[in-house]
Amino acid sequence: GEDVEQSLFLSVREGDSSVINCTYTDSSSTYLYWYKQEPGAGLQLLTYIFSNMDMKQDQRLTVLLNKKDKHLSLRIADTQTGDSAIYFCAEAGKLIFGQGTELSVKP
């Protein structure tokens, strides 16, 4: 089946790094995405990685892709309270989202 799995909660202190993990099932996905949902809002596309890449860096965000293990991660450096949100990973062309990871950043 098409399942995306993520851990449900992550709590970090302000200034620390956060790592949010995701496993997916479809090895043919061309792109993999990370979305951010702030409280009371819709999902916004945060970043993405093309499937032929291992890593992508975008300011404080680093996306790592391990195609062999079908594992995707999002690292947020110097995590701020404004990063508190739910983060979803998703596969291109797939309509199924996981439960999302709720990131809580404590001052």
Partner 1 sequence: NAGVTQTPKFQVLKTGQSMTLQCAQDMNHEYMSWYRQDPGMGLRLIHYSVGAGITDQGEVPNGYNVSRSTTEDFPLRLLSAAPSQTSVYFCASAQADYGYTFGSGTRLTVV
The least CB distance from residue 33 to partner 1, in Å, is 5
**Which one, 14 or 47, has the nearer CB to partner 1?**
47
**Contact range with partner 1 by CB under 8 A, out of 16-24, 58-66, 73-81, 85-93:** 85-93
Q: How many CB atoms lie within 10 A of CB 8?
A: 10
**Which one, 64 or 92, has the nearer CB to partner 1?**
92
By the rule CB under 8 A, 55 interacts with partner 1: no
By the rule CB under 8 A, 72 interacts with partner 1: no
**Residue 12 and residue 79 in contact, taking contact as beta carbons nearer than 8 Å:** yes
By the rule CB under 8 A, 61 interacts with partner 1: no
Instruction: Give the Å distances, CA to CA, from 104 to 28, 43, 44, 47, 84.
Output: 32, 17, 18, 20, 5
**Contact range with partner 1 by CB under 8 A, out of 18-26, 28-36, 58-66, 76-84:** 28-36
